[in-house]
Structure 1
Amino acid sequence: MLQGYVTVLTILERKGTEMKVNLLTFLAMLLAMPSGLSAYEAIQEDEDIFARRPCPAFLMFDNAAYVSDMTIELPCHCKPEVVPSVVWYYQKQLGVKDTRVLTDFNGTKVVDSAQVGRGLDIRSRFSIRLFSLLIFQSQAADSGHYICGTSTGEFFYGYDVDIQEVGEVSFSLEPQSLGPPGDAGRMPHYRVFTSFWPWSVCDRCGIRGEQTRVGLCYLESPYLYSRYRLQPPGVASCGSASVPQRFKKHLREKRAELAVRSCITNCPPEPTLPPEEKSFLDFLGSRSDAPKLVVQYYSHPEGRPLVLACSGAQANKAVAWDKDQLRLYRAQYMEGVNKTARMYIDASQHLVFRDVQMNDGGTYYCWLQGKLAVEIRLSITRRFARKRKLSDPESVYAMKAILLSYTVFTVIFVLFLIVRLLWQYFIGREML
């Protein structure tokens, strides 16, 4: 930069009589231009959020309730600044020796949620991101105590997580709001009720769609354990560890509820492009009014299960499915409505096929928050016969079945021979 100044000054000295410029005036002009010549100022880092919230001296647990198949996030709200990474611990009940450690000891474990399925152990369904614990495809068995700490045994923050399965699904074909829920049961020392989430947006626009809301089971009582933070005070979810054991025997059949109702809403107007951009797109041969859909192609073998997921879908977003011109409404295709259905929509809003058939091929559309979002073109391939190996699961199952049958028949045959010999022995003694 100084070399530039020297060059400019040299030129001015050579043309001093022609330019008639004062050196002091030129320097003043340079000082008056801070935007181009000012030094770089480092951006001041924000204050550490963990430094503003001290950890409690006595470990307590925040009660949190969720519905199954959701992806839940548990933030570690406090930790010392000197701790670079955290370890999450899981205990089904406090005081038991069976404690699971959920960490890769770096605090950066990453799990692809698209590859997470049901039935997997919690160690295969979690991720730690920015000290927060994420659990994918949460199940009722994941309920328990989650503690944020370190590998050396320091504990900072805790959660009492209650994951409830959907037990009752109610449908309403009329596009009107349902009445307020009443008490599910009132006892002398506690009251059980269902707390509903707000209605979701209509999952389709321009045609008949559906809205959903989830209701979780809660209990109100003055006899809840005080080691748990409850919001509001005196109210906890039905599966919380803060509920006394003598109350839980009356809550075993309580489940979450799912309400579904019809809705009709207009599609929002499409944003208009400026004339210049529209003309440029027309020049390139691209339609400016074409729907912006994500097109995906899938090829799947016949006779195997399949799960279609909508890109960008989350538990708190409205999702709907169509096949070509067929609307897949939850009233007909919700999981559990038809026990024999091969295709259904599960609680995670995935489209599930028990075993894919050739006629399942076609174009599937996914609606997200009332707008068409994804187009899935599914093709089904036939399974050709192949030579089986002894290591195949089917071969192992067949050999186990054959050996079990052989063992059962051998035992029956030996017992028959023993009974026959004993019979002949006693008959021979009587004859003598």
Structure 2
Amino acid sequence: MDKRLLGAAILLCLVGVLQAFATEEKEDVFKTMACSAFLLYDNVAYMADMTFELPCRCKPKEVSSVVWYFQKNMGRHETTVLTDFAGTVVVDSGHIQLGSNILKRFSIRMFSLIVFRAQVMDSGHYMCGSKKGDFFYGYDVDIQPTNRIRVAFVDRGQPVQDDFTGKHFSLFTTFWDWTTCDRCGVPGEQRRIGLCYVQSAQLNPRYRTAVPNVTSCGSRAVPSHFRRPVRLRRPEVAIRSCLTPCPKKEAPKEEAQAIANVISKLGEKSWQPRVPVQFHNQYTGSDLVIACPGARPEHAVGWDKDSVQLYRSRYLIGVNKTMRVFIDHGNHLHIRRIQVSDRGTYFCWQEGKMVAGLRVSVTYRLQRGRKLNDPETIYAVKVIGMSYTIISIMFIVIHVCRCCYRALR
């Protein structure tokens, strides 16, 4: 018994030492980087609809929580406070709506600011600081739009944008790595996102960049007389085809396989989809937008309708201006003015694996007869009655005036 207690005591001591070591290591993250006396801004760039995280890289030791501030342009007095002054704001990213205000699209976790589905209007300065308004660390965030994005299909021989070199600055595209193939076992596609960057010796020195004299095109470090020609260059995305084999699945055990075969032969095995499938009913003539669960714009996402692959080479937004079914740059599948022929099961691939499906059924919108006690009917009767009364009064007044005019002649 004594040996057991001694062993438990030693184990608890080790756990305490490890926890203390972990806490000390966590605190050392802020000790290793001292806050600068003059606030500088780190430049970061993202594509619209992406989710990004900004860590507060330095703070005084005595500060236990930070406050995040947003300022559109440096020098303005309009500053938005993005916190509850406790540094504990957490939101459910699944409930984020496209185009909603930034105050509804952010979260604070462990001193870091997370902005969900960023929009172009979210570009600006983000600072972490204290409740008193002292700033510790700053970011210059550039959200580049997707509505002006340039698409290059590599398989068709379409080139990416050439670099531009001017007298005082040069423009170029910095590409991310190719995504993984969005499907496996069948032909798929890969994407490569490219963001616009500018190189110049006249950038504002208050903005820090990973490469000297290089910053994103929408950065506030770019001089004002450069911004108009810089805005003419667009972000771009390159797309190419790919083919990747699916990973081998573990074969079921012999006993389980034998039982499954018996049940299958008896005809008692119910239909089971390959992935979780939701059922949705949609009326004809309406619009439908389908999102892949857990997917982000930077992920490799593919869409199938039943057994037909919806490739971006045909269904990417902008390929054909008149198409009803298309995929946007945020990996959402859009169906406009839905028709009966659009019913079926839409499968979503993510990072080379089929993850979910949506079975869409389409029904005609029934024409409902109006009743006398309906609010719309009552409103229509009131409007018609009032109009008839006004016309009748005008008719009587006109005739009275004519009679009086004839009598006085």
Separation in 1, partners of 2:139, 2:262: 58
Partner of 2:19: 44
**Are residues 1:69 and 2:49 paired?**
yes
Q: Against the structure 1 CA distance between its residues 111 and 341, is the aligned structure 2 distance closer, same or farther, given a 3 Å change threshold?
A: farther
Identity %: 46
The letter for the 1-side match of 2:279 is Y
Q: Partners of 2:111 and 2:181 in 1: how far apart?
A: 35
Partner of 2:280: 298
Deviation readout 1:382-419 (Å, 9 max, x if unpaired): 434466857xxxx9xxx9xxxxxxxxxxxxxxxxxxxx
Q: Normalising by structure 1, report the TM-score.
A: 0.74
What residue number does 1:86 align with?
Answer: 66
User: 1:103 aligns to what SS in structure 2?
Assistant: coil
2:332 to 344, 350, 364: 350
Question: 1:303, 1:355 within 8 Å by CA — same for their partners in 2?
Answer: yes
Cα distance, 1:292 vs. partner?
A: 5.4
Unpaired stretches in structure 2, ≥5 consecutive residues: 384-409
Shift of 1:84: 3.5
Distance 1:309 1:79, change over 3 A: same
SS at match of 2:360: strand
Pairwise mapping of residues 138-287 of structure 1 onto structure 2 (< 5 A)? 138-166=118-146, 167-173=149-155, 183-273=162-252
1:314-368 CA distance string (max 9 Å, x none) = 2332100000122111111111222222221111101123343333221011111
Are 1:109 and 1:129, in contact at CA under 8 Å, matched by a contact in 2? yes
2: CA distance between counterparts of 1:279 and 1:40? 49
Report the Cα distance in structure 2 between the residues aligned to 1:104 and 1:342, rounded to whole angstroms: 43
**What is the CA-CA distance between 1:173 and the residue it aligns to?**
2.9
- 1:35, CA displacement in angstroms? 4.5
For the Cα contact (< 8 Å) 1:183–1:191, is it kept in 2? Answer: no
Structure 1 runs not aligned, ≥5 long: 6-29, 400-432
The aligned counterpart of 1:412 is none
Query: What secondary structure is seen at the aligned counterpart in 2 of 1:251?
Result: helix
- Tell me the secondary structure at the aligned position of residue 173 of structure 1: helix
Pairing 1:332-343 to 2, within 5 Å after superposition:
332-343=314-325
Alignment root-mean-square deviation, CA: 3.1
1:303 deviates by 3.4
Number of residues paired by the alignment?
Answer: 359
Which has the higher mean CA deviation after the structures are superposed, 97-106 or 370-379?
A: 97-106
> Matched residue of 1:250: which SS?
helix
Amino acid at match of 2:37: A
Normalising by structure 2, report the TM-score: 0.78
Equivalent AA in structure 1 for residue 275 of structure 2: L
Larger Rg over CA atoms: 1
Shift of 1:133: 1.6
Aligned to 2:94: 114
* Cα distance in 1, alignment partners of residues 51 and 337 from structure 2: 26
The 3 A distance-change label for structure 1 pair 80 and 297 is farther
| C-alpha distance in structure 1 between counterparts of 2:62 and 2:191, whole Å | 45
Alignment equivalent of 2:312, drawn from 316, 330, 347: 330
Structure 2 match to 1:53: 33
CA distance in structure 1 between the aligned counterparts of 2:177 and 2:300, rounded to whole angstroms? 12
